[in-house]
Chains A and B, each alone.
Chain A
Amino acid sequence: MATGSGQPAQPKSWQIPVFYQKATAKTATDLATTSYFESRTQRLKSSAVVEYRARGSEKLDADRRATMAETEPVVKPKPRPIIRIGLFLISHSLFVSVVCCTAGILALLLLPALAKNTYISENALMPGSASPRLSHIDASEGQNFVNRILNLDSEAIKTGIEIPELIAKHMVELGGEVNYHKFQPISTKFHPLHFFLGPDAGVIQENYSCSSYGINTVGIIRAPRGDGKEAIVMVTPYNSVKITTGQAFSLGVAYSVFSLLARVTWLAKDIIWLAADSKHGEYAAVAEWLRDYNALSFGDLKLYPEICGVNTSPVCTTSQVKEGAISDGFRRAGTMAAALVIKVADSSTEFEKDVLNIYAEASNGQMPNLDLINIVNYFAVGQGLRVRVEKIWSLLDSWLLNSLGELIELLGKVATSLNPQGGFGIPVADYVEGSATLASSLYNQALGVPTGPHGAFRDYQVDAITMEISPKFYATESFLFLLYVGRLVEGVIRSVNNLLEKFHQSFFLYLLTSPSRFVSVGVYMIAFALLIAPLPLVAAALCSDASKTKLGKDKVPETAPHRESVPTFTSWKWLYAAKTVLVVHLWSAVVTLLPYFLYQIPNSSPSTNLLIWITLSVLSLFFAYELSGSFSFFSTSPPQRSEWALLKSVTVAVAFIGLCLMSVINFATAEIGALLLVPMCLTAVPLRHNLKVNTTRALVRGACHMLLVFVGFPPTAFLLLKGASDGFGNVICSFILQLKEANGYLVQVFVALPLSLIESMFA
């Protein structure tokens, strides 16, 4: 209160402004002179704070002291309601956090029951408004094409260019513009797994030979009257060295659709058929093509490079199609509107119908527009396919989910009996299936690894999905299979072709519980918000707790003035804790990033790399220790409750901020992170406290904390799981890898938070 102290000799009247004068005329009369009074009001108008502080000071009539520190109000002013609510919540933080946490988890479990039916939001799509034109002739041509490819495959394939040539030849015959895209997968890419475990066999090939080039074949149909601004992409990945029957069938489907689209008059967008050579992985082929599509590429796109010496065989040159039909330049066709990846799985007999699997998750948990999935679902159902989204099968038998489903069904029945309009009820089977799908959806989004080649398109803001069709008997009914899958693809392309604008109407942020049901962002955010709501409360509670105890302790050093710590700045105390947390975070960031730099060192084995990593990490820890001055767990002073409480409160606050930011970037990662971190944050207590009390309960609690922290700490969890089961461990590996690659921030939280918790435990 600088104003107050700046006017020490003023009478008490300064608290009352002039516009209040009439109302309190009586009070004002026995105050100072009016002239002064008015001059004061000028100042008061400019400062609302002074007025606000004045509210409790009428008791100070006689009190002429200037400093506000001594103007302790006798009647404490009643705080605003919102502050009162906040204080109430903070004072009951334990109860509130338990309730919120439980509610958050329950809400997450309820999500499958809250899922809505999907609907086609963009009217311009007009799915199914035209009858399919794909004729039997197209299908039988596709069948012939499949047979030709399979025949070619049965012959000895040496160079891997026979199939691309065959495809190109057929594309040219249909009137498409064709070019080859030759690519080399990037080998120097950093892969954290290789750092720790050594390179996988067969991945690293130092000297690329000719056969290591992947050759994509790209055919483009120009829309007859289109302006060539937009394009629709059809992708069929196949292995040019050893093609499977399923891959041949996917090429056959694309061929029959392509042959239809070469004739139709309704095209408004160009059609690109990318026969992607999946010799080096499906994703790599598509990603490389997209990279070159969106860059100025001067690559030598000739099929037969001179260095390779493959071309000299005269058979190849004669088999090539007429001169000049296949250009050696990179062909483009405008902005991509949507992309469909068509895959045919090798035949399965587990269902009575043919099954269409939809994969939609792209990198970093991005999803294509829901409308794209909707139309695929629409046409697939129309063609008599059974549509599925990926789900975690092991969850289907979980008794917990089953019983929960029964409970929800019961609740739903009760709700329906009360209010027949509100359809809340959901059958048990649906619930269990929905939760399994939701779990898989969450898992894939959190992982951030694309579930197929479609992921490469999302990086360029193109909506794409992978359709994997598992036919029941394509060996016997291949013609029919080509016919109806071709019609499905034709329908989807025609719908997308109808679009005037790019996909924008429907949802981008959603979780699927089944192909026709989804949970939108507005619903699933509630669960997340409930889950992380306790964090700021706990942080605030701990902070206020710490400041209170500090105040209590401050009276002690006053009597013993030899302690020269600065107790008067109690409000700044948290900065020290924040500094500690920051240093730990920095250290963890360094530790996380170190492998990348170590990887650049040539000629180093994984074990030496690991050793260097560990030594560097320890060294950087000591450096960080020097930097921060003192870590509390190295200090010899007896543990103070306030110190660890402040530390924990800052850590929890940082975790809260991190999770909130993460939820904007990738919801699923944030949700899973919150599920792991929130219990950890709520329960962590210094170990010494537990040890001091020395009861069995405290010991158990301490052990639980250690366990939680160890499970939550990714490297530990990784090692444990790696040891436990190889298969599942790999999944976790990729999870961590992806986390490291994509979600750098959360990794830091993941690494740093347990560390700071451990630290606060040892404090």
Chain B
Amino acid sequence: MSRFKSSFLLFLLLFSAYESIASEDIVQVSEEFTEALLLRPLPDRKVLAHFHFQSTAPPTRTYGRHHHLFPKSIYQLVHKFKVREMELSFTQGRWNYERWGGYDPISNSNAKPPGVELWADFDVPQHQVEDSWKNLTHALSGLFCASINFLEQSTSYSAPQWSFQSVSGKLRYGTLPREAVCTENLTPWLKLLPCRDKAGLSSLMDRPSIYRSYYHSQRLHLRSDEFDTSKTSTGIVLEQTLTVVLQPNTFSGKTSQLSWSLSSLFGRKVGGKCSLSNSSNVYVQFEQSLVSKVKELREKRESSKNEILMHEGFQNNPLFELSLPPKRIIKEVEKLTKEGSILYEFSVEDYDESEPFDLGLSWKVPVFWSCQQAPLRTSRFLLGSGNERGAIAISMKSTESNNVERSGRDDKECWLRVGIFQVVPWYVKVYYHTLEVFLDGEPQHTVDNVEKIHVSPSEDKVSPGVMEIVLRLPCSVSTAALTLEFDKGFLHIDEYPPDANQGFDIPSAVVRFNDFLTNISFDDNSLKRVPILSKLEENIPVLSYTEVLLVPLTTPDFSMPYNVITITCTIFALYFGSLLNALRRRVGEEERLLREKAAKKMGPLTLMLSKLSAKLRRKQWEPPKPSSSRKSVINKKLILKVLLVAGIAVAWQYYFQ
């Protein structure tokens, strides 16, 4: 107890000391943890749930190395490998850009390629970057129980020049498309939270319901300016998000939207906030197209009923009803002519175990709407057939949002800049000179449409091929396509991965719309203090990931090596045997020797027999021809042997059957 007291006193002392220092700084210095959950109904009767946890640690210079909330492992990671920024994501399933949207901040920052994606920017001298990357992959591999260490090999990661924000050249990027994501990856991720999944919003994370989701992506984003010498450093910001797309249990008809509640989605309720978190909010977001639908409907109803609307509340919403009253309603600033989206904020702080938080949404009218799309919808596929060559095609198709954006700009000199970042493993030998651009089905001069391009061709067994390209497309384009031809390489037998007959993956390409930035801006400046909302307000580039491709390569029959070995050995034996025979044997000499031997060693019995037979035939006895005698002897011996073996076999058969 006394020890506790003393430590408490020490803490107070320290705290007061810090307070005095902090008073000098503008920024408040203390560790912070916030949690938030954003729910959004999706057009195809699914619900997006986006958990957002943020921990911040003040800079070591002012705060020291001791942390209460911030995970120690991450702090050590940052310091050991001098990570400036890092993002790690584990994803299962595909983000459906068409149905779930591709333009809003959440889909742009949380839609990730299947498997593991990792990129990291280091604050080390250029020559140490590779080492830092390798060590980091191993550390993360251990930390998250995943085979991230496979990204250590130089064939699996790349150094993008300008496709990512960083231009330092110290950024490394790698993906593992085949990594299976499971609960064993989630548990270490939850361990980084101060309340784990015992309290607060993370207690909703019921494993079966999360892994039953249509899309599941857990992400860890790390930003530190620990190593900046400037004064305005914010320390380390650890942002952990879990994005799941859930389908409420279907019992009703097929077409209408489904009502849901937290307990029906997750099978659990929230029993209060995590007491260590500064804020614990739940938001329900309605997209702008849905909001405009609501408005339409309301206007219609107004005109029909001539009713005066009291205020924009949730109660008299003609479309849906929320089971709990929101704490406040946050409206997005209207852009151009469009209606902004609406966020309903709920605070979990008011609820506890006895009265758990269970938000529900029920639809009053069947409603159809669509999400805002990225300017171009991209898809990537393989062309050609056979085991020799093929082509990768990235096709882009314009969506309506493109038109909307275009209408706001002046029509002259309207260009759409599309950056594509594509990593191809070395065994798919891409010929970059075969790059062809098609606009609306017509092949184009590549030079006219490529603004800048950076290609580093693959090197066999050393590095993957990386292509970064910025296409400049006219805004009026409706379809654009890009093709690259490749040859399928051969691998050495021990380079084949397990289950080689499945084929080989080409990781997702990243398509970035450079001129498009997305954010949700709010009027109220006080909202900036809530991390999830400030995150939404940040301008982030619109990007989308393409599908992972599966290239069937020629695979050997893996039992074949044995066949090959045996055949090769047989051929070698035959060849060398006959060669040696030809080299060594001298048939003439051998025959002469044998003849001499035969002449010398003709047994008395044979001699007598031959003489006898000669006498019987009344012929002159002559010494037998050596070759013939030898032959006859051999033949007799052979016959004798054969007879002996046959006899033994017969006896064996007779006695033992």
Contacts and interface: CB of A to CB of B under 8 A. Distances in A.
Contacts of A173: 254-255
A229 interface: yes
A58 B547 contact: no
29 contacts: A16-B586, A16-B589, A20-B589, A48-B582, A51-B582, A51-B583, A51-B586, A54-B588, A55-B586, A55-B591, A58-B588, A77-B587, A173-B254, A174-B254, A222-B94, A222-B96, A226-B94, A227-B177, A228-B548, A229-B549, A295-B384, A296-B395, A322-B368, A329-B395, A329-B397, A334-B381, A501-B499, A502-B501, A502-B503
Given A174-B254, A296-B383, 12 more contacts: A48-B582, A48-B583, A56-B588, A173-B255, A227-B115, A228-B547, A229-B505, A229-B550, A295-B384, A329-B479, A461-B387, A501-B500
A638 B505 CA distance: 71
Interface string A78-101: 100000000000000000000000
B440 A20 contact: no
Interface in B553-569: 555, 557
A500 B552 CA distance: 13
A294 B589 CA distance: 70
Contacts of A175: 44
A348 interface: no
B589 A24 contact: yes
Per DSSP, are chain A's interface residues mostly helix, strand or loop, or mixed?
loop
Contacts of B502: 500-502
Given A332-B381, A335-B552, A298 B501 contact: no
A659 to B, nearest CB: 23
Contacts of A329: 395, 397, 479
Contacts of A174: 254
Interface residues of B, number: 59
Contacts of B212: 265
A55 B385 contact: no
Nearest 8 CB-CB pairings of A with B: A298-B441, A501-B501, A55-B588, A229-B550, A55-B587, A227-B114, A460-B385, A501-B502
Contact of B499 (A20, A55, A460, A500): A500
Interface in B379-397: 379, 381-387, 393, 395, 397
Interface in A60-110: 75, 77-78
B530 to A, nearest CB: 32
A263 B583 CA distance: 75
B481 interface: yes
A744 interface: no
Which of A173, A225, A501 has the most B CB atoms < 10 Å from its CB? A225
A229 B588 CA distance: 70
B592 interface: yes
A658 interface: no
Interface in B254-305: 254-255
A688 interface: no
B363 interface: no
A406 interface: no
Contacts of B250: 263
Contacts of A324: 370
A459 interface: yes
B132 interface: no
A645 B49 CA distance: 86
Interface in A13-28: 16, 20, 23-24
Interface string A701-722: 0000000000000000000000
Interface of B: 44, 92-94, 96, 98, 114-115, 177, 212-216, 250, 254-255, 368, 370, 379, 381-387, 393, 395, 397, 438, 440-441, 479, 481, 483, 499-503, 505, 547-552, 555, 557, 579, 582-583, 586-589, 591-592
A212 interface: no
Given A296-B483, A334-B547, A335-B382, A461 B552 contact: yes
Nearest to B115: A227
B44 to A, nearest CB: 7
Given A20-B586, A54-B586, A77-B587, A225 B438 contact: no
Contacts of A504: 501, 555, 557
A506 interface: no
A58 B438 contact: no
Nearest to A330: B395
A502 to B, nearest CB: 6
Contacts of A332: 379, 381
Nearest to B215: A225
Contacts of A229: 503, 505, 547-550
Contact of B592 (A48, A58, A263): A58
Interface string A229-271: 1100000000000000000000000000000000101000000
Interface of A: 16, 20, 23-24, 48, 51-52, 54-58, 75, 77-78, 173-175, 177, 222, 224-230, 263, 265, 294-296, 298, 322, 324, 329, 332, 334-335, 459-461, 500-502, 504
Contacts of A322: 368
A295 B555 CA distance: 24
B185 to A, nearest CB: 14
A508 to B, nearest CB: 11
Contacts of A56: 587-588
A57 B591 CA distance: 12
B92 A295 contact: no
Contact of A459 (B98, B385, B555): B385
Contact of B548 (A224, A225, A227, A263): A227
Nearest to B114: A227
Contact of B503 (A23, A52, A222, A335): A335
A227 B94 contact: yes
Nearest to B381: A332
A234 B379 CA distance: 22
Contacts of A335: 382, 503, 549-552
A708 B589 CA distance: 55
A298 B94 contact: no
Which of B370, B379, B479, B586 has the most A CB atoms < 10 Å from its CB? B586
A295 B481 CA distance: 12
B334 to A, nearest CB: 25
Contacts of B592: 58
A225 B115 CA distance: 11
Given A222-B96, A502-B552, A296 B397 contact: no
A322 B366 CA distance: 14
Nearest to A459: B385
B216 to A, nearest CB: 7
Contact of B214 (A225, A294, A295): A225
Given A20-B589, A55-B586, A228-B547, A298 B440 contact: yes
Nearest to B214: A224
B391 to A, nearest CB: 8
A256 to B, nearest CB: 15
Contacts of A23: 589
Nearest to B436: A296
A334 B499 contact: no
B526 to A, nearest CB: 39
A190 B384 CA distance: 23
Which of B96, B440, B551, B583 has the most A CB atoms < 10 Å from its CB? B583
B552 A294 contact: no
A228 B96 CA distance: 11
A72 B187 CA distance: 91
A4 B92 CA distance: 79
Given A55-B586, A296-B395, A298-B479, A224 B503 contact: no
A661 to B, nearest CB: 20
Contacts of B382: 294, 335
A178 to B, nearest CB: 12
B165 to A, nearest CB: 27
B546 to A, nearest CB: 10
Contacts of B550: 229-230, 334-335
Nearest to B508: A227
A459 B384 CA distance: 11
Contacts of B386: 461
